Amino acid sequence: MLDYITSYLGMNTTPGQAGNIFWAVVYILIVFGGVSVAVMAMNWLERKALAHFQIRLGPMRVGPHGLLQPIADAIKLMTKEDIIPEQADKFVFWIAPLIILCASFTVYIVIPFGPTHAITDMNIGILFMLGVSSLSVLGVVMAGWSSNSHYPLLGSLRSSAQMISYEIAMGLAVLSAVLMTSLNKSGTGTLSMIGIVEAQQQQHIWFAFKFFPLGFVALVIFAIAMVAETNRAPFDLPEAESELTAGFHTEYSGLRWSLFMLGEYAAMIAVSSIAVTLWLGGWMRPFPSTLTGETWDLVFSLIPGFLFLALALIAFIGVVRMPKHPYFRIQTMGLAGFAAVLGLIGLILFVPPVRERIQDIFWFIAKVAAFMYLYIWYRATFPRYRFDQLMRVGWKVLLPISIGVLIVTAILGVAF
């Protein structure tokens, strides 16, 4: 047994490919736990960043600067009464949030956080991701239909039409990136997520900058389609609060509603991960081929540690600036503890073995985080599209451009 566990450590591959079930389970637990924490962090960040866009403070009460707000929310949602409408189709109503949740969590199986930091790698990785993530539309339709109510029905109809329309533009954008992976001597491309990043490594360029501006246009198309795909502002019609009260999940409350939210945020992180993997070099650090050499490697490997130290410093400044009233004592202590934890993580990240192993994961998460911030930014800035306009953007703008990008990429690929 012990041999079975340790034998994987020598292998330079993912546990799924090595066929090591123990480590696969460990990886699954880490990834799913990590995603759940990331969803909570995202929840806090969204409320906080949105609040600052809108000149207000956001959550401030639960924990220092509202840091414990997501936990309080989770407790509130779990202890709420679980309401199932009398007229609802109970089984479908019950299973719909689970489908969305499963669909958005399953895609994490193939997301590569590093050359070996993935649960598994499939030769059809990107296809698998697109396929599974589009299953969530099934959950949306089921939720809207089973609620047996007008507003959820309208919301789910909108949502299914929207998700299907934008998937096409999304798929074509993805294809152009996949096409780029075949631009090597052997001429064979790959659909494997790890393979795609490795192709970018070999070609010494992120696909976002390949055949500039072609790759970049494809990335922009994908970035727009993925916002629509995850039903976020400005494409949040299915849950348009002011029109359809809450869209397909109007009748849901408590834990079931929180499953929808968990699924939505997990899907946001998942599609951002696809964008990062396909166009932004996945786990690679910035400038991997222009700023080469030992010194640059060292400089970039120190960034995570310094980042955490900087965060610790900000938290520490917060501690110093906290009012000296006894009322704030617990808050101050909490924030100080938070600063200490951040500082400690920063220091641990300087230890050479940790530093080298954390690199890939850090850069991957940093790039995904940039996309997540964009999501919040969109939400603060844009009004909502109307349904027909949304369809027009999808079919008449994004689709022709993505077909054009695909064709030109193919031509350029043959020419060079």
Partner 1 sequence: MTDPKAYLSHLELGEKDETFLDSNELIINMGPQHPATHGVLRVVLKLDGEKVLGAECVIGYLHRGVEKIAENRTYTMFNPYVDRMDYVAAVSNGLGYCEAVEKLLNIEAPARAKYIRVILTELNRLTSHQLWLGTHALDIGAMTPLFYTFRDREEILKIFEKYCGARLTTHAFRIGGCQYETYDGFERDVKKFIDEVPPKIDEYEELLTTNRIWVERTQGVGKISAADCKALGVTGPVLRASGVKWDLRKAQPYAAYSDFDFEIPTGVNGDTYDRYLVRMEEMRQSLRIIRQAVERIPEGPIMAKVPKVIKPPVGEIYHSIEAPKGELGYFIVSDGSTQPYRVRVRPPSFVNLQALDLMVRGQLVADVIAVIGTLDIVLGEVDR
Q: By CB under 8 A, which span of 102-110, 241-249, 322-330, 352-360 interacts with partner 1?
A: 241-249
Q: How far is the CB of 222 from partner 1 (least distance, A)?
A: 20
Figure out which of the listed residues 55, 320, 414, 415 binds partner 1, where binding follows CB under 8 A: 55
373 scored as a contact of partner 1 (CB under 8 A): no
Cβ neighbours for 189, distance < 8 A, ≥ 6 positions apart: 178, 179, 180, 181, 182, 199
**The CA-based dihedral angle spanning residues 27, 30, 35, 41, taken in that order and rounded to the nearest 10 degrees:** -160
Q: Decide: helix, strand or coil at residue 136.
A: helix
Are 367 and 361 a contacting pair, CB within 8 Å? no
Nearer to partner 1, 233 or 278 (CB): 233
State the burial class of residue 328 (Cβ atoms within 10 Å of its Cβ: 0-12, 13-18, 19+).
middle
Figure out which of the listed residues 199, 240, 342, 376 binds partner 1, where binding follows CB under 8 A: 240
Figure out which of the listed residues 7, 386, 397, 400 binds partner 1, where binding follows CB under 8 A: 386
Q: How far is the CB of 308 from partner 1 (least distance, A)?
A: 31
228 scored as a contact of partner 1 (CB under 8 A): no
Q: How far is the CB of 246 from partner 1 (least distance, A)?
A: 9
Figure out which of the listed residues 299, 381, 400, 407 binds partner 1, where binding follows CB under 8 A: 381
Figure out which of the listed residues 119, 126, 193, 233 binds partner 1, where binding follows CB under 8 A: 233
Locate 286 and state its tokens: 């910035």
Figure out which of the listed residues 294, 295, 383, 416 binds partner 1, where binding follows CB under 8 A: 383
Q: Print the binding letters for residues 106-145 with partner 1: x by CB under 8 A, - otherwise.
A: ----------------------------------------
Within positions 177 to 216, which residues make up the interface with partner 1, using CB under 8 A? none
Rg of the chain over Cα atoms, rounded to whole angstroms, equals 23
Could you give the CA distance from residue 365 to residue 282 in angstroms, rounded to a whole number? 9
86 scored as a contact of partner 1 (CB under 8 A): no
DSSP string, 7-19: HHHH--S-HHHHT
Figure out which of the listed residues 60, 380, 408, 412 binds partner 1, where binding follows CB under 8 A: 380
Looking up tokens 């992976």 gives: 181
241 scored as a contact of partner 1 (CB under 8 A): yes
Nearer to partner 1, 52 or 204 (CB): 52
Figure out which of the listed residues 150, 204, 329, 396 binds partner 1, where binding follows CB under 8 A: 150
Q: How far is the CB of 392 from partner 1 (least distance, A)?
A: 9
Side-chain half-sphere exposure of 399, counting CA atoms within 13 A: 12
Figure out which of the listed residues 53, 209, 350, 395 binds partner 1, where binding follows CB under 8 A: 53
245 scored as a contact of partner 1 (CB under 8 A): yes
What would the 3-class secondary structure string for 97-132 be? HHHHHHHHHHHHHHCCCCCCCCCCCCCCHHHHHHHH
Closest CA to 84 of 246, 256, 244: 256
Q: How many residues bind partner 1 (CB under 8 A)?
A: 30
Figure out which of the listed residues 11, 18, 41, 50 binds partner 1, where binding follows CB under 8 A: 50
Could you give the CA distance from residue 365 to residue 208 in angstroms, rounded to a whole number? 18
* φ and ψ at residue 62, rounded to 5 degrees: -85, 100
Nearer to partner 1, 152 or 346 (CB): 152
Q: Decide: helix, strand or coil at residue 30.
A: helix
Q: Decide: helix, strand or coil at residue 309.
A: helix
Closest CA to 349 of 308, 383, 312: 308
Figure out which of the listed residues 92, 343, 384, 403 binds partner 1, where binding follows CB under 8 A: 384
385 scored as a contact of partner 1 (CB under 8 A): yes
Where along the sequence are the contacts to partner 1 (CB under 8 A)? Answer: 50, 53-56, 150-151, 154, 158, 233-234, 236-237, 240-245, 379-389
